[in-house]
Every structure is written in structure tokens, then in C-alpha cells.
Amino acid sequence: MPPRLPSPAAITTALSVHLRRLSACTASAAQADAHHLLDEVRHPDHLRRLPSALASFVLSRAVGNTPSHLDFGKALAACVGPGHVAFAEQVYCVAWKDGLTGDAYVCSGMIDLLAKSGRFEDALKAFEDGDRGSAVCWNTVISGAVRNDQDRLAIDMFSDMVRGSCEPNSFTYSGVLSACAMGAELCVGRAVHGLVLRRDPEYDVFVGTSIVNMYAKSGDMIAAMREFWRMPIRNVVSWTTAIAGFVQEEEPVSAVRLLREMVRSGVSMNKYTATSILLACSQMYMIREVSQMHGMIMKKELYLDHAVKEALICTYANIGAIELSETAFEEVGTVSSTRIWSTFISGVSSHSLPRSLQLLMRMFRQGLRPNDRCYASVFSSMDSIEFGRQLHSLVIKDGFVHDVLVGSALSTMYSRGDDLEDSYRVFKEMQERDEVSWTAMVAGFASHGHSVEAFRLFRIMILDGFKPDYVTLSAILSACDKPECLLKGKTIHGHILRVHGEITSISHCLVSMYSKCQEAQTARRIFDATPCKDQVMFSSMISGYSTNGCSAEAMSLFQLMLSTGFQIDRFICSSILSLCADIARPLYGKLLHGHAIKAGILSDLSVSSSLVKLYSKSGNLNDSRKVFDEITSPDLVTWTAIIDGYAQHGSGRDALEMFDLMITLGVKPDTVVLVSVLSACSRNGLVEEGVNYFESMRTIYGVEPMLHHYCCMVDLLGRSGRLQDAKSFIESMPMKADLMVWSTLFAACRVHNDAVLGGFVENKIREDGYDSGSFATLSNILANSGDWEEVARVRKSMDVKKEPGWSMV
């Protein structure tokens, strides 16, 4: 078995010893040692493993020939492949011994090799050995700096070159302009542009394209296009650079227009042009332009390129043309590229999760695995935690569990599925977190009412050095949704002012936060201080007034919004309709109903639900039912509104029928709708039905009865004359009966003239030590029954304590 070629690590370890030996030897001895460095690869089997140029160099040295600087340059260029860098260092040592490292050809070859291998510091050391008067060495080291993201260093080296004795050429200008483009150094780029015009006014298309690229990457498309049209000759690279600039600035129309000019000028597009235009079309949903590009791609045979295939499939998916995306995907034939599969599934998942899952299974059957972006897209659209858990296990198996993109999507999936425990577990297991993952977890806690955890996580995020952006601040402000959170909300407001200053784009979140914390006046001050008020701002303030019972202010602001020319959206319409229901303005609600139909927002669930509530509260059950029947998928709030409307207006049987229909359709009841059901039974004398529904609360519906439900049952039994049963029911309650329960029974006693039980209830109210407000309620019940003597007696026995008043005069 032939001996194996030494590994690069072994060669590198021995290299330092050889370098010290070479520097200490005489000319003849060093030459012998240098020969010895290459002796180990003279074996024919070893030579066959080397590139031809490198094998020729070794054989030439073996027979005693002295390589020229061109031979050394070719040998170094042949070492670009993996595993040959250490061998190139040996070649360079021999060149150093032969005194050729100062040669521009040799020096630039070594600089380029080290820069491409990610060893730019060693490339700078090789540059120190070169000829400072050679533009080739300067160009190579500047390009190497750009390649290794050392943009500022590239600019500084260009400055040193210009101040020295070496004259820049086209390659130099291109390199430094690329550095300016990558580092967004527009001022430096303009200076370089001026230097180019002064020293070489007739520069070639290579430099002109670099200038266009510099301005485009720096965001100055006016200057970029001025330079572009100034160029006497424009090749496909120049056109593509300008098109990519418009795409970067999110001006897709200008990008497509420039492509048409390019085609008319007779320049054929390449794969980079195609991918840039497809990206532009996906920004504006240009289905017609994408179809035209599809035809051009097929005509120019650019479809053979994987990047173009991927861009075309992704563009169709992004603009919602799923069928065309599938057509483009199937045109590829048997797809073996994981990247194309992943791109296609990612695009489909945002429009049709079931279809994306089918494609995912098909991909698995072909033995392929998605990439991190595909997993993240599927998790972001996932609506089934159980299936998500199965995919989670595959993510662990495929090694993406610690990926920040996948981890954020996983955490969001669990949070959206109301599994905050697993969501937080995934978040904690992430080895790296970005702003998106922090924001997703903060928003998850905030949306589920865990404000304490949301605030704690937000604080840790800031301590870890992350600066919250607009999305994060919106999420944490949404956690301040009750008066107890007002202090924390003010703290966050102060943080925003201290770190970000006045952010008008987040003012509506502040208005909403103060409104939820019952600080409507503070919310209005922020509203008034915002210079440019948009639709969202008005909606937040009107909703804030509505939830705080400020009906007059809400109506006034609504009229102001209409007078300023804003349209009524679904949020404002829903808020005003709810307000009309609360303040009994059915006529105003009818006008909004007509506007909702005209504006096409009646199909929105929040608007239709508010209309059902408005008509139900005003007793217009026919219109309420008409609106309800037009709703495709009513939610629990809408069902509750229609059931409560029937219950409050004497249509108990209709209320129970609607409740049974709700259960049949799979809507799970809550405590509120069950109060309406029991109230319907109570108001219509449906005793047996009411008892059955009450007993089914815990056993069938899984809802624990509360005081309101017990009060409804007492009212149900009391109205039907079963006063002793009502008394026994109260005594069997698992919690202490409050004033409302006893008052309900007391009112039933007065209606049915049961003085004995009535006296017992009155004594019970007195014994339990209720405040003066309790006796005022008792007095009102007696007054409603017309027993004015008892009213006088109760009022006389009331021990009312009033705080003394204070006058400021």
C-alpha cells in the first residue's frame, strides 16, 4: 500500500521548524534544505494527487531546475484548492530563499491565496515582503481586504498607495470603490470618484460599473443613474448593477423599466439580472411581469441555473400564485436540490399550510431534508401543536434545534398554541438569541396575560445588550392592559423617551396602553401631541374612550375624524357600534350599518358582532338575527350577543335553541354565555331546563359555576315560587352568598308574599354586616313591591356614615 500524503496540519506543524532552518542556513545549505521540503511528495502516487501545475513544479525542482518567478506564481495559483495552503507556504519559503518574494507576480499570488483562505493577517505579512511600487500587489491586498470584510482597512491602504509612488489603475479603483460600497462610505466614494475623473477621465466600463455600484449600494440612486447614463459603453454587468440598486431601494417599477431599456439596447440578461428582477416583481405582486420573465428565462436557457429556478419558484409563491409556483417547480423534473425544495415549501406554507405539509412529506420520501428556513416557515404557519411536536423531533435529529431562526419559529408556534411552558423551554434552550426571538417570547407572554413574565424578560433583554425595536416595544406595551400595570407602563414610556426620543410610529401603542390602564386623559395628551395622526391613532383613541365610558368624548372625536377626511375602518366601526349599544343609540348604529355595507367591512367579525350586540340590546331581534345569519363563522362573543338578546327580551326558547345550535357547531361555552342561558330560563319560567343546564355546566361543558350562575338559579327557583328550594340551594353553595343572591331571594319573597322567609332573609342581610349600600338595595326592592312602610323602616335602620365635605372657598 503506497504511503499517504501528509495532512495539512502535519505540514503546518513542521513548517515553523523549516522556516527557522532556512533563515539560518547558507545559500547552498538552504537550497538543499528547500529541496528536502518537497522530497516527501516526489512519489508518483503523491504527485498524481496534486494539481498538474503543482506536480510539474515539484518535478522541475526534483531534477535540479531553478524555477522562475512565473513558475512560482503558477505553483502558488495551483494551491488554491482545499488542503494545499500549507504546501503553498513551503513553495513560498523556497521562493523567499531564492529572493523572489519581492516579485509582484509571486507576492500577489501568495497574498491572494492567503486572503481567499481567510488568513488575511498572514496576507498582510506577505504584502510586507512585496514591492511597494507594484500596483499588482496593492490591488491584490486591497481586494483581499474587501473579501475579508475589512472595508475601512482597504480604504486606508488605498490612501497609502495614492500618497506613495504607486499609481492606481482600473483594478485599484474597482477594489476601493467596492470597499466604499460594502461599508456604505458614500463620502469616501465620492472622493474616489473625483480622483478617478481627475486622473483618468476616460475610464473603462469596469471602473464605471464600480462607481454605479458604489452609489447604488450607498442608497444614492440619483447619482448612480447619472453615472450609469454617462457611461459610453454599458455591458450586462452595468445594467444588472443599476437594476439591483433599484431593487435594494424597493423601487421595483424602476427596476422593471430599466430591464426593458436593457433588452431594447440589445444586451442579453444573465442569471444575476434574472434573480434581481424576480426579487423586484415579488415586492409589487407583478404577476404579468413575472410571467414574462419566466418566458425570457426559458428562452435564454437560464433555467438550468439553480439560483434562477429557486428565485422563480419563490417569486410565484411570494405573490400568491401557488399554482404557477407548482408549475415552475414541476418543470424542473426530479428535484434533488434541498435548497429548491425548501424555497418552494417555504413559499407555499404562508398561503396553504396543508399543501406545504404534503410537499414536506413528499420531500421526506425522496430522502431529502429541509433547511433551516423551510423549517422556520412551516413552524410559523403551523396550527397543530401535535404535528408541530413531531416536526420538532425531526429538527432535533437534523441538528437545527439550536438555530436561531428555527428556535424563534418553534417558540412562536408553541406560544400561538397556548403552550407557553414549551414555548419558554424552547426559548431557554436556544444557544443564540436575536431581537426576533426575544420579541417573540415577550409578545407570547404579553398576549396570554402574563405581564409579569413579559416585563421580566424585557428587562433581561435590555441587560443583555439588545436594543428593543418598534415591534418589541409594541409587544411590551400591550402587556400593560390593566390599571395595576400603569407604573410599569410609565417606566417603559420613559425608556422610550430616553433611548429613542419621540417615536410617532409607536404613539398609538402608548395611547392604547394608557387607555387600558384607565388613564384616558394621559392618552389624549399623547394623541394631541402627535403631529401626524393616522387612521390607527384615531382608532386607538376612540377605542380608549369607548372602553373607559367616555361616550361623549368618543363621539366627538369620531366626528372630528370624519371631518378631517379619514375613512371608517373595521376597528373604528366596531368601537363606535359597541358604544352605541352601551348608550342606546340604535339610530346612529343603523347609519354605521349602512356605511359598513358600503365600505365592505360588514364581513369582518368584530363589526358584525358589534351590530348583533347593538340590535339585541335595543330589542330589535329581527335585525340582530339577520346580521347574525350572514356571519360565516361566528365566534363565542357573537353567539353570546344573540343568545343574551333573546334572553333579555323574553324569547327564552329562541335563546336555548341558539345555544344548542352553538354546541352542535362545536363552539365551547364560557361562563358569560351560560349566565345568559340561565337568565333566559329564569325569565321564561323554564325551571327544568335551567336545572339541567346548571347541572351540565361542570359535567358536560367543563365550566365551574360562579356566583352569577348561582344567583340565576336562585332567581329561577324564586320566580317559580319554589322559595324553600331556593333557600336550600343557597345554603348548599360552595361559596358564601353575597348581597345579590340574598336580595334575589328577598325580592321573590315579596312577590310571593312569604313574610316568614322574607324576614329570615332580611335578618340574614343584617347579620352578615353588609354596608349601607346593601340596605339601599334592600330598600329599592321593597319600594318596587310598593311596601312603603317597610321602606321607611329599612331606611330608618340604615347606619349611613358620610365623610364631611370641604370647601375650597
DSSP state for residue 402 in the 8-state scheme: T
Q: In this structure, are residues 809 and 772 in contact, taking their beta carbons and an 8 Å threshold?
A: no
Q: Using 50, 70 and 90 to split pLDDT, how confident is the model at 258?
A: very high
Query: Of 34 and 196, which is predicted with more confidence?
Result: 196
CA 233, 238, 242, 243: dihedral to nearest 10 degrees? 120
pLDDT value at 239 more than 90: yes
Average pLDDT over residues 21-41: 39
Q: What is the mean pLDDT of residues 381-390?
A: 82
Q: Is the pLDDT of residue 33 over 60?
A: no
Would you say the pTM of this structure is higher than 0.75? no
Q: Mean pLDDT highest for which of 36-50, 140-154, 598-612, 667-681?
A: 667-681
Confidence of residue 524 (pLDDT cuts 50, 70, 90): very high
Superfamily (CATH) of domain 713-798: Tetratricopeptide repeat domain (1.25.40.10)
User: Which amino acid, 286?
Assistant: M
424 or 760, higher pLDDT:
424
Are 132-228 and 713-798 equal in CATH topology? yes
**Cα dist from 764 to 80, 768, 787, 796, whole Å:** 96, 6, 20, 18
Count other Cβ atoms within 10 Å, centred on residue 788.
Answer: 10
pLDDT of residue 293: 85
Burial zone of 349 (CB within 10 Å; 0-12 exposed, 13-18 middle, 19+ buried)? buried
Q: How many residues does the chain have?
A: 809
- The reported pLDDT for the residue numbered 4 is 39
Q: Specify the CATH number for 132-228; select among 1.20.58, 3.30.70, 3.10.590, 1.25.40.
A: 1.25.40
- Give me the mean pLDDT over the 383-411 stretch: 84
Domain definitions of the chain by residue range: 1-129, 132-228, 713-798
What separation in angstroms does the CA of 77 have from each of 22, 58, 89, 558? 23, 14, 12, 74
Which one is predicted more confidently, 675 or 336?
675
Q: Is the pLDDT of residue 530 over 50?
A: yes
What is the C-alpha to C-alpha distance for residues 542 and 524, in angstroms, rounded to an integer? 10
Q: Using CB atoms within 10 A of its CB, is residue 33 exposed (0-12), middle (13-18) or buried (19+)?
A: middle
Q: Is a pLDDT exceeding 80 seen at residue 81?
A: no
pLDDT of residue 36: 43
User: Which band of pLDDT confidence, cut at 50, 70 and 90, is reported for residue 19?
Assistant: very low
Please give the residue that has the higher pLDDT: either 459 or 120: 459
